[in-house]
Amino acid sequence: MSPPEHPLTVDVRGGDGEVVLVLSGELDPHTAPTLRQAVDGAVVDGTRTLVFDLGGLSFVDSSGLRVIIAAHREMAERGGRFILRSPSATTRRILDITGLSSHVEVEA
């Protein structure tokens, strides 16, 4: 497997119990571990809300969806909120087709 043409970048922002991971690039088998590491580093005691800002995400596949589901589950177990923010039309369609949009809070 060759390296991704559009690697994923994750910019971590936040404070006051809310962490926002701003994603840019592609979320696929090559880059999903990058997001998983960012989640592991960002979700600490006191994190009440985790937001994935998907506005800069150009592609997501099943490996990316697995990371999203795991992050959602982790926040639910902590009693926190998990939000997907600003998905593109393509990403929103994937969330709808998979049924994920009915289980995860999605903000336009």
Tens digit of each residue's pLDDT (9 = 90 or more) over 2-44: 554 669 999 999 878 999 999 999 999 999 999 999 999 998 8
The percentage of the chain sitting over the pLDDT mark of 90, rounded to a whole number, equals 86
Is residue 53 predicted with pLDDT exceeding 90? yes
Q: What is the dihedral of CA 70, 42, 105, 90, to 10 degrees?
A: -80
Taking the domains of the chain in order of start, what are their residue ranges? 9-49+63-107
Mean pLDDT of the chain: 93
Report, in angstroms and rounded to the nearest whole number, the Rg of the chain calculated over CA atoms.
13
Question: Encoding tokens for residue 37?
Answer: 């590491």
Query: Class for domain 9-49+63-107, per CATH?
Result: alpha beta
**pLDDT value of residue 45:** 82
**pLDDT value of residue 4:** 47
CA 66 to chain centre: 10
Tens digit of each residue's pLDDT (9 = 90 or more) over 70-106: 999 999 999 999 999 999 999 999 999 999 999 999 9
Question: Encoding tokens for residue 44?
Answer: 């600490």
Neighbours of 44 (CB within 10 A): 8
| Single pTM value for the model | 0.92
**Distance between CA 49 and CA 83 in Å, rounded?**
8
